[in-house]
Amino acid sequence: GGSIEELWPFNVEIVARAIYSSPIPVVSAVGHERDTTISDLVSDVRVSTPSMVAESAIPNKAELIERVILYVKSMKSITKNRIYLKKEAIRRLLMLPLFRFPQKEIVENRRDLVMKKIEGIINSESRIYKKKRQELDSMLKRLSGLNPLSILNRGYTITYKYPENTPIRRKKDIGNETKRIKTVFYDGEIISQIDLEGVNYE
């Protein structure tokens, strides 16, 4: 937020065109609800404050889990329906005169046709299941990426004030009153005593 002079750079044409043509999704958080700029209008998503950017950019874990559950149910229902339709096709096939009058020669001549149709049904269902399984695995990988332990396993750590357990995101979050901090690693955590002498928080 700010005065019109402070927000004016977000109204110039070169900035608006750059945002509009960006191949990467752009989240605009220039001002509050009362402040609207051209950048807000051409961006992919507009939020009212910078603090809401992370909330809009990161997928909601609960929503992804619900989507996976619904996807699995849908996959089961579709597969069950396809199998039913294939069984009906076989049933209708067996009602043909060929099978109602099963003379030996006719049966032998047409046996290959029946076997090919059955193999086609099996192969079709196998391909469908494989494709749905790949899509499900992709969703599960996205969920795994949201797990904080996955981030810690890549070498990152999380630091908290101790014993308050308040996360420290910036240097000035430490404050003059903080004496100890807790650092969380992938395989454990440590408590550290800090020396505030000579620390500049600006």
Q: Global pTM?
A: 0.34
The per-residue pLDDT of the chain, averaged, comes to: 77
Neighbours of 37 (CB within 10 A): 21
43-102: per-residue pLDDT in tens? 888 877 666 766 666 666 777 788 888 888 888 888 888 888 888 887 787 777 666 655
3-state per-residue secondary structure call for the chain:
CCCHHHHHHHHCHHHHHHHHCCCCCCEECCCCCCCCCHHHHHCCEECCCHHHHHHHHCCCHHHHHHHHHHHHHHHHHHHHHHHHHHHHHHHHHHCCHHHHCCCHHHHHHHHHHHHHHHHHHHHHHHHHHHHHHHHHHHHHHHHHHCCHHHHHHCCCCEEEEECCCCECCCHHHCCCCCCEEEEEECCEEEEEECCCCCCCCC
139-198: per-residue pLDDT in tens? 777 777 666 667 777 778 888 888 888 888 887 888 777 678 899 887 888 998 887 665
Residue 28's nearest CA partner among 8, 48, 55, 3 is 48
Show Cβ contacts of residue 22 under 8 Å, excluding neighbours closer than 6 positions: none
pLDDT at 105 over 70: no
